[in-house]
Chains A and B, each alone.
Chain A
Amino acid sequence: MSLGGAAGGAPSAFDPKKLRMYGLVGSIVGIYLGAILNSALNTNVFSFIGAVAAIFAVVMGANAVRRVCAYGIGTGVPSIGMLALGMGIIAVMFGLSMAETLGSILVGPIIILVYAGVFGYIIGVIANKVIKFNIPVMEEGNADLSMAGAMAILGWSFAISGTLGYVDILNNVLMSGYIAIIFIAGGLAILHPFNANLGPDEQQDRTLVNAIMVSGMAMIATGIGAIATQGLASGLLQLVIGFAIWFYFFKMYYRLVKRDAAAVVGTGLLPPTVQ
């Protein structure tokens, strides 16, 4: 087996359980770290940690898309990415407002994670039992996607607002309209990797590197948003780190493309047909 691992039930180089654990732990720890550092030091330069934390969630989501869609949902790849963010945003709004009601904003991410997991699982059960998709990993995949979408939205919302407070996120992210870019760039970060690499010779590592690359791009966008809400220093820091992540992983992606492609040529006529 190559390092990449092919789709469609074939062995993957990275085990989905491990990726899920890294994704959940990475995103939760990152968001908490950013939030606690920001409030303890009374600053907002650590908001970028939230954006980096979202990348862990995106990688887990992209792997879930890959697992579910490898069962032949070709045109459904974009739809399932949008579904992930749709489930996620409901969980985020619910969790943040619950935390505000309970009086402790730090329990927000945990409530969001639990709610998103249960909600996604139920959607998966409905998809399999009522709509009759009959995809074995549907429930698990939808729970993963829902949690990934929720953590991505939460991480990037935190990166723009600088706190986990419901009112702050409402004012800085929703009312200013930055939620639009979080929603759509987050959605593309989850759905684009598998969609862009769809094909019989898809490789897991290439798909996941693409996910990190698109997340870096989304981080550039949240950095631009953070310039308006948190000031130039914090926003530019986020933007520069996002650009660095994007640049590094784009180069890595191109290396993997050269490794996997039949041929990468400067120019040329049609290749000899292989049937």
Chain B
Amino acid sequence: MDAFSMGLIAAMGALATVAGASEDIESDIGSQSNPNSQVQLAAQVGNPHRIYNKAISGEPPANALWAATAAIVAYTLITAFQMSALLALVAGASVAALFNGVLSMSAYFGRNSSQKRFNQWVYLDIIRYTTPSIMAHAWITSFCIATISYIMVYMLPTPHPFPMAVIALIWGLAVGAIGSSVGDIHYGGEREFQNRQFGCGLNTMLSGQIVRKAEAGLRNSIDNAWFCTKFGGPATGMGFGLTVFLDNWRTTVFDPVTQAPYAIAMGLFFIIVMVVYNNYIEKSARRKYGPYPEYKGDIAA
């Protein structure tokens, strides 16, 4: 281990933190992934709305596409045209953002026009001002992920044996999975149902009864980005940043070939510490903000 590689690991951790945050906000602006089901349901239970419906796929495949696109464009520009890495990565992220824009728009058009019988309209102004915000966040995510892959393959003292695009694909899947499990709850639970008691869970009766009106005027997806930037985005960023940093830290401090058992032991140690810490957080949240409604047992189907 030397100071240079430790610096690279720190840079990767920082990039991953930014990528995680922008990924979550990107999905929240478009109501992708888990909270999407409620946006989709809203019109069907008689609540047409003006919220973006970006049903591209689950977040993991979608983000894998942006990251892989950025990586292949950058790889092509670097190998075929000897372009400087930074410019190539910027160009790659731009292509990825364009792909994102196309898929976002087609999902908004398609989902809303498939709800004709519920009178859900297609609003073109939503497309015009929300899609660029989604694309901008996708740009940040794919730039950061492609840069992490570049560092892993070309700059670390022990380079990763996989090609850059495959690593970007895997990190894209990872950031999508983390964004889907960490940040979405903030948007889905606390923003779409902000008129309900904190921590009340989602009763089936409330399905589709999302908040459609804002403090002034109608709720739009840019408002949701503002809300999610306060907690969901940063929490996702921390989750993904820690994943990238700790995982690379242990294989940099311990040589993965000669000291593999130490690296594995360090990984197990991190997992145990996180399990204990998560348990503590959950208990302390219940102590401070409870009581939550009692669990009354499963209801027979």
Which A residues contact B (CB, under 8 angstroms)? 74-75, 77-79, 81-82, 175-181, 183-185, 187-188, 191-192, 195-203, 206-207, 210, 213-214, 217, 221, 224-225, 227-228, 246, 250, 253-254, 257, 260-275
Q: Nearest chain B CB to A78's CB is how many angstroms away?
A: 4
Interface of A is mostly: helix
CB-CB under 8 A for A177 and B75, given A206-B113, A210-B110: yes
B134 at the interface (CB under 8 A from A): no
CB nearest neighbor in B for A78: B57
Which B residues contact A (CB, under 8 angstroms)? 37, 40, 44, 46-50, 55-58, 61-62, 64-65, 68-69, 71-73, 75-76, 79-80, 95, 99, 102-103, 106-107, 109-125, 162-166, 168-169, 212, 218
Q: CA separation between A216 and B276, bound complex, in Å?
A: 49
Interface pair A271/B48, CB less than 8 Å apart: yes
Chain B residues with Cβ below 8 Å from A268 are 121, 123
Not counting A184-B64, A274-B117, a sample of 7 additional A-B residue pairs whose C-beta atoms are within 8 angstroms of each other reads: A82-B61, A180-B64, A192-B106, A198-B40, A198-B55, A200-B115, A210-B106
Chain A residues with Cβ below 8 Å from B113 are 197, 199, 201, 206, 257, 260-262
CB nearest neighbor in A for B34: A75
Interface pair B121/A228, CB less than 8 Å apart: no
CB nearest neighbor in A for B47: A273
Q: Nearest chain B CB to A250's CB is how many angstroms away?
A: 7
CB-CB under 8 A for A177 and B110, given A195-B56, A273-B48: no
Chain A residues with Cβ below 8 Å from B79 are 228
Q: Which of B37, B50, B165, B218 has the most CB of A within 10 A?
A: B165
Q: Nearest chain B CB to A211's CB is how many angstroms away?
A: 11
Interchain Cβ contacts under 8 Å between A and B, 18 examples: A79-B58, A175-B163, A176-B75, A177-B72, A178-B72, A180-B168, A181-B72, A200-B117, A207-B110, A221-B99, A225-B76, A261-B122, A263-B122, A264-B124, A267-B123, A272-B119, A274-B119, A275-B46
